[in-house]
Amino acid sequence: MLVPLFQKGGHWHVLFTKRTDRVKHHKGQISFPGGVVDETDEDMVATALRETYEEIGLHRGDAEILGQLDDAFTVSSGYLITPIVAHITYPYPFSVNEDEIEEIIEVPLEAFLARDRWIKEAYSSGSRTVQSYRFEYEGKVIWGATARIMRQFLDVLFRDKQD
Residue pLDDT, tens place only, 61-119: 999 999 999 999 877 767 899 999 999 999 999 999 999 999 999 999 999 999 899 99
Residue pLDDT, tens place only, 116-135: 999 999 887 778 888 889 99
Q: Which own/partner pairs from 9-14 qualify as long-range (CB within 8 Å, at least 24 positions apart)?
A: 11/108, 11/109, 11/110, 12/108, 12/109, 12/110, 13/90, 13/106, 13/107, 13/108, 13/109, 14/106, 14/107, 14/109, 14/112, 14/150
Task: Say what percent of the chain tops pLDDT 70.
Answer: 94
**Over residues 143-162, mean pLDDT:** 88
Point out which residues pair with 87 in neighbouring strands.
Answer: 5, 64
Please state the domain extents for the chain.
2-161
CATH number listed for the domain at residues 2-161: 3.90.79.10
